[in-house]
Structure 1
Amino acid sequence: MYVWFFLQPEHTNVCFWYIPPSLRGMPDCDERREKLHRVAPKIKALMMESGTTMVGYQPQGDKVNFFRMVISNPAATKSDIDFLIEEIERLGQEL
């Protein structure tokens, strides 16, 4: 006898880079990658200082630091995610 369970996902893992305006027109090169590698840690530090929200970051292989957002709260709403993205954009404008 086989029993199959169809479960809803319990969490979502979203990985992404925020590219600040100062790097958007810059061609892909070592200098740009070095600068981009510092973006996520800087934004996370600013988030913690302001106390608004927090999101993790990490590199992967030869990829520079990127945001890694794990959403495990079933009560999270679209407006919660919008707030997080808007906060990253606000804090990253001057980088």
Structure 2
Amino acid sequence: MVYDAEPQHTNVCFWYFPPSLRCLPEGEDKRERLHKVAPKIKAMMMESGTTMVGYQPQGDKVNFFRMVISNPAATRSDIDFLIDEIERLGLDL
């Protein structure tokens, strides 16, 4: 999660760390590489046509996924599919 706070809205902000970034030490190289992850995954989502989620940076935070869930018909399986798709597309980044 981008912000460590109790959720108050339907906005969910998070990073996906591909396996290639998980063991990197904190620092500018890791931040620069993480900044490119969300745009790449979104481009692959658009290309495959499976789903789409927005991303953005904010302040000193690098690009993160920003899900806005406003459809009362959204189910847990819908959200699970989205997360699984992010992981599937980002696995080799």
The TM-score normalised by the length of structure 2 is 0.90
**Residue 21 of structure 1: how far off its partner (Å):** 0.2
Q: Which one of the candidate residues 35, 38, 46 is aligned to 2:36?
A: 38
Q: Please name the residue that 1:91 is paired with.
A: 89
The TM-score normalised by the length of structure 1 is 0.88
Is structure 2 residue 73 aligned with structure 1 residue 82? no
* Aligned 1:11-90 pairs, distance under 5 A: 12-90=10-88
Q: Please name the residue that 1:3 is paired with.
A: none
For residues 23-55 of structure 1, the C-alpha deviation after alignment (integer angstroms, 9 at most, x for no partner) is: 000011101100000000000000000000000
Look up the SS of the partner of 2:39 in the other structure: helix
Q: Structure 1: which amino acid aligns with 2:75?
A: T
**Residue 86 of structure 1: how far off its partner (Å):** 0.1
**Residue 91 of structure 1: how far off its partner (Å):** 0.2
Structure 1: 5+ residue runs without aligned partners? Answer: 1-10
Larger Cα Rg: Structure 1 or Structure 2? Answer: 1
Instruction: Give the paired residue count.
Output: 85
Partner Cα distance (1:40, 1:28) in 2:
18
RMSD: 0.7
Partner Cα distance (2:40, 2:71) in 1:
25
Q: Structure 2: which amino acid aligns with 1:66?
A: F
Q: Structure 1: which amino acid aligns with 2:83?
A: I
Structure 1 ranges of 4+ moved more than 2 A = none
Structure 2: 5+ residue runs without aligned partners? Answer: 1-8
